Amino acid sequence: MRVLLVEDNAALAAKVRAALIEARFVVDHAADGEEALFLGETEPYDVVVLDLGLPRLDGLSVLHRWRAAARTMPVLVLTARGAWTEKVEGLNAGADDYMAKPFAIGELVARLQALIRRARGVARPEISLGHGGEVTLDTVAATVNLEGTPVRLTGLEFRLLAYMAQCGARPVSRTELTEHLYDQDFDRDSNTIEVVVGRIRRKLGAGLIETERGLGYRIALPVGKAGPST
Ligand code: CA
């Protein structure tokens, strides 16, 4: 999952970024409102953390302009402690959740994961995959089991599997995967989508990810289910 972190306080941004990477997010960081506006308008983020007090363009204006441009990604706003008017303004501007500073970073991560699940219509963090339901993916604990046995995936492998799992039965193109799995600076050459899919198939079974000619990939779901098992 790819997150845009908009925060001008460098120390706080570094702490949040580290926690998000630990939770297997891909993180792009913007330190002012204009950069945030541009990135949010042009890149497909799964969720955004938006500080309201920002240089160059304030966070509320950024959010208003994203929503006016029909950018619908879930947005969690960071407000100053006790500033209840900021919460109201943020929610009115189209925010999906808010947290007041200072906040516990673990709670921020949990709320972002919940926002992503809600946006994709997946209610619980555990998802069963494979035609026999043999693979279990826990999006909160960031673990994967094959027939009850834990399997170690790299961060990139996990992100690809988790993204596909939340897309359900629809095919997902390589372009879409690329946009959601890598940050701007990632060296993509040795980690192309095809290579990552091949590694996942070796670890979790060749049938788990099916190739749809001309469309991309489709995740195998338990037989008889149209969407991810939740
Ligand atoms: Ca600020």
Distance 59 CA to ligand 1 centre (A): 9
Quote the ligand 1 centre to 56 CA distance (angstroms): 11
Going from the Cα of 156 to the center of ligand 1, the distance in angstroms, rounded, reads: 31
pLDDT average, residue stretch 89-108: 92
Q: What is the dihedral of CA 145, 140, 46, 176, to 10 degrees?
A: 0
Interatomic CA distance for residues 193 and 40, integer angstroms: 24
What is the whole-number distance in angstroms between the Cα of residue 190 and the centre of ligand 1?
Answer: 37
Residue 188, pLDDT above cutoff 70: no
CATH architecture of 126-219: Orthogonal Bundle (1.10)
C-alpha 155 to ligand 1 mean position (Å) = 30
* Higher per-residue confidence, 182 vs 115: 115
33 CA distance to ligand 1 middle (Å): 10
Run of H or E including 171:
none
pLDDT > 90 in the chain, percent: 68
How many A from CA of 28 to the centre of ligand 1? 17
Domain edges within the chain: 2-120, 126-219
Q: Domain 2-120 falls in which CATH fold?
A: Rossmann fold (3.40.50)
Cα of 193 to ligand 1 centre, how many Å? 36
Span 42-94, pLDDT tens digits: 999 999 999 999 999 999 999 999 999 989 999 999 988 777 888 888 888 99
Domains 2-120 and 126-219 fall in the same CATH topology: no
For residue 81, report the distance from its CA to the centre of ligand 1, in Å.
Answer: 12
d(CA 112, ligand 1 centre) in Å: 19
- What are the residues whose beta carbons fall under 8 Å from the beta carbon of 152, sequence distance 6 or more? none
DSSP 82-98: T-HHHHHHHHHTT-SEE
Cα 55 to ligand 1 centre (Å): 8
